[in-house]
Structure 1
Amino acid sequence: MKKRGASWQLFWAFFRVGIFGFGGGPAMIPLVHAEVVTRHHWLTDEEFADVLAIGNTLPGPIATKMPGYIGYRVGGVTGCIAAVIAIIFPMIVAMIVMLGIFSRYRDIAWIRGMGQAVVPVVMVMMAQLTWDFFDKSKAALGWWVSIAMACVAAGLIYWLGIHPGWVIGAILVAALLRPSGTKPTGAKKAEGNA
């Protein structure tokens, strides 16, 4: 899938994500999805979901793992370097500038309000991404399996305090160990209705 000139496209796509990705890695995921799947069609929704799932199981920030892999897939080693530099450069510059301003003017109300005003926007973006993933899960597994898996995952992560990476890793291992002839419940129902 390596393309001529892909490194510049990757750089500008992830530079936009780096500039507008307020809130860190999780808040950047919908922006990465918009660039990679919707705008440039480098990945399908299913491929993006796989990259996100595997990226969450590995150590390190998701904000650099995803651009690194996507950059490598689209543009090879130079694409990987371009994507990672593009996403971290705005963050580094913004941190230096913003922390300088904040430490100097921290008692002014509008400076304090800047960070608080971004939170509802990030919340809406994450809610949209959550709904998109639930919709895909529902299509692949069915309503009940999707809801049951979401409830079990929520219980493990929020009530028992298990790291999300372990939960995702366990699901990946379970999927790998599942006999190849069996299909998810939702897929069986879809075939029966056809």
Structure 2
Amino acid sequence: MENAYVQIGTAMFRTGILGYGGGPSIVPLIRYEAVTRFKWMKDEEFMEVLAIANTLPGPIATKLAGYLGYRLKGGWGAVIGLLAHILPTCVAMVGLYSFITFFSTSHVIKGMIAAVVPIVAVMLGVMAYEFGEKAIKGLGWPAGVTFFIIAFLLLQPLSVHPAIVIFMFLLYGAFHHKLKDKWMKSKKTLGKGDGV
């Protein structure tokens, strides 16, 4: 079995190098490393960590890299996770700045960038579908669809900050099962009363 520090370093190095298009596009790669490849956590826990990380300030990918490193090996794990995720990209940016500037009008470079965008969109779409599927299983169809609509309205037409929306749903989620149990008990009580 690989050393945990090596696992953290290689996983976060891969996500830092292969992630394209900013933090949200890197999340599916980090999820693959943490859940599928190394099995550091279950998918449900990753969704919870992602929700909490979204409520905090700063880039989502670096927060996840730091958290995963800390979870596995404490403070040094967090340092290795962050450095492995950030450092290669920073070095590449400095080294390739002149190259990009020189070739910024090149049709080949523009084509490469355009070709990657659909891949990122599909990765985010697959992850969103899987998260939605789990939400429907946990909440049920009526609540899942209702919360999707509420979240969409809050985020799009009303332009509420995503951290506020996530916090609202986290707050509701803390009481969801208690509220659901009370509702089911009251429904059963009403049903028994009707039959008497």
State the alpha-carbon separation in 2 of the partners of residues 128 and 184 from structure 1: 32
Letter of the 1:160 counterpart? L
Per-residue deviation, 1:4:
8.7
Structure 1 residues 22-171: aligned runs within 5 Å? 22-171=20-169
Aligned residues of 1:141 and 1:184 also touching (Cα < 8 A): no
Moved more, 156-165 or 119-128: 156-165
How many residues align? The count is: 184
Give the TM-score of the pair, scaled to structure 2.
0.86
Give the TM-score of the pair, scaled to structure 1.
0.87
Aligned residues of 1:8 and 1:82 also touching (Cα < 8 A): no
- The residue number in structure 1 matching 2:180 is 183
Identity of aligned residues (%): 40
Shift in alpha-carbon separation, 1:98–1:162, aligned structure 2, 3 A: farther
List alignment gaps of at least 5 residues for structure 2.
185-196
Letter of the 2:180 counterpart? K
Per-residue deviation, 1:56:
0.2
Letter of the 2:178 counterpart? G
- The residue number in structure 2 matching 1:192 is none
Moved more, 25-34 or 104-113: 104-113
List alignment gaps of at least 5 residues for structure 1.
189-194
CA offsets per residue over residues 97-130 of structure 1, 9 Å max, x none? 4432221112211122222111000001001101
